[in-house]
Amino acid sequence: MKKFSFPSLLVALLFTLILDTISCTKEYSYEGKPMAVYNLTDVEDRCIDAVVKGNYVAGATLDSSHYVYITANVTKAGNYTIQTNVVNGISFMAVGNFPDTGSHTVILKATGKPDSTGVFKLNVVGDNGCFFSVEVVSDQLAEYVLLASPGSCETFEVKGLYILNKEMDTSNIVTVNVEVLRRGNYALTTDTLAGIFFSATGFFNTTGKQTVRLRAVGTAKSSGLFYFKLLENGLPCDFKIPIQNAEPLAIYALVSLFTTENPCILKSVSGDYITAIPLSANNTIELFVFVFQTGNFTISTDRTNGIIFSNTGKFDRLGEQIVTLSGTGIPISSGLFSFIPQIIGPAPIGGYRCNINLAIR
């Protein structure tokens, strides 16, 4: 029998390991997992279903808000690395794993800083490449006007609940309409009332009528009906936000006559109401309510002719009671005006508003 020396056996073993390594390199990636096979292009070599997200401004570093969606039609599951060339100082890249075959959405994250403005074509590198376009704009400010009639923001929409001592979150949104005259960056903010304000920043990509979503920030410190004024650019406008009292909430109704005008049943109307003279502590309205369940309450009128009446407090007994609404503001003009006290918050048994006619000299 032929004998083999130890060195000969060692060489043979190393040779076998090298062959195994070469075989694995052909089949697996550097992570030891198979590489995916997929297609990214449509019939014109564009990236399938490409959607570019983010505002690309010359000289501004890109962040997590800048990315692009594309679709990959996968014929073999496995790892992938998809990246573009660098154009105008920016590029896109995604690394991941396709767990199975079929259509998959890939998110390529952007990096870099655009050097100049214009529309730029970025190509995914490799034999399976595709292209998409990114528009880079200047850092100019947008020109726009707030749509208002006549001072109230046009068809504004309030979303979310606004509750005393509650911190605002992503559900607390107000949408307003603007007319964009020139594309560019914008920043909208309101004054701060009851501990909260609304703001929005972004970029108008097109001109014409558009909707802006303003998010509430802060914690509500007062309950009532509050009119927030947008402060930026063009004709100002305002919108109203009802902030209800904290729990436990009272259940009650405003007492009124059941007629067409639904007048509130009043005990008294006090004070003088004269055009251009601010209201004082003497300007009050006493009205009747009927309480079914004790708890916190807030009653307020809309702002009419520059003035508003309101009160917030707690009912600690049941039955008919008198609530005193205090007036604030400055009357704008003379005449007979209708004020409508209303329950701010839930009104499960109805009777949530009634009417008061008030003469202003």
Q: What is the pLDDT of residues 301-326, one digit of tens each?
A: 999 999 999 999 999 999 999 999 99
Left (φ > 0), alpha (ψ -120 to 50) or beta: where does 151 sit? left
d(CA 111, CA 113): 7
Give the bridge partners for 320, in sequence order: 290
CATH class of 37-137: mainly beta
CA distance 214 to 108: 28
Looking up tokens 């560019």, which residue turns up? 184
Q: Which pLDDT tens digit goes with each residue over 154-187?
A: 889 999 999 999 999 999 999 999 999 988 888 8
Q: Residue 326 and residue 360: Cα distance in Å, rounded? A: 16
Residue extents of the structural domains in the chain: 37-137, 143-243, 251-360
The pLDDT, as a whole number, for residue 14 is: 42
Q: Confirm whether 37-137 and 251-360 share one CATH topology.
A: yes
Q: Which pLDDT band, with edges at 50, 70 and 90, does 29 fall under?
A: very low
β-strand pairing of 131-137 with 56-57: parallel
CA distances (Å), 52 to each of 70, 122, 258, in order?
A: 9, 11, 58
Apex 136 CA angle, 109 and 86, nearest 5: 50
Residues 230-253 have pLDDT tens digits of 876 556 889 999 999 999 999 999
Measured at the CA of 262, the angle between CA 257 and CA 263, to 5 degrees, comes to 75
At 141, the pLDDT band (50, 70, 90 cuts) reads: confident
**Is pLDDT of 193 > 60?**
yes
pLDDT in tens, 41-53: 987 889 999 999 9
Assigned token pair, 347 = 């009104």
> Of 274 and 145, which is predicted with more confidence?
274
How much is the pLDDT for 332? 96
Q: How confident is the model at residue 32 (pLDDT cuts 50, 70, 90)?
A: low
In eight-state DSSP terms, residue 161 is: -
- Using DSSP's 3-state secondary structure scheme, residue 137 falls into strand
Residue found under tokens 């009124």:
256
C-alpha–C-alpha distance, residues 156 and 45, integer Å: 43
Check residues 1 and 152 and name the one with the higher pLDDT. 152
pLDDT at 30: 41
Q: Please determine, looking at this structure, whether the domain spanning 143-243 carries the CATH number 1.10.10.
A: no
Q: Determine which helix (DSSP H) or strand (DSSP E) holds 14, and give its type and residue range.
A: helix 6-27
Q: How many angstroms separate the most distant Cα atoms in the chain?
A: 128
The residue length of the chain stands at: 361
Burial class of residue 249, CB neighbours in 10 A (0-12, 13-18, 19+): buried
Region 81-94 average pLDDT: 96
Architecture of the domain whose range is 251-360: Sandwich (2.60)
Query: In which band, very low, low, confident or very high, does the pLDDT at 55 lie, cut at 50, 70 and 90?
Result: confident
| % of the chain exceeding 70 in pLDDT | 90
pLDDT of residue 149: 77
Q: Kindly state the average pLDDT of the residues 46-64.
A: 91
Q: Which two tokens stand for residue 161?
A: 């609940």
Contact 352, 262 (CB under 8 A): no
CA distance 47 to 105: 11
- How does pLDDT run across 96-116, given as a tens digit for each residue? 999 999 999 999 999 999 999
% of the chain surpassing 90 pLDDT: 72
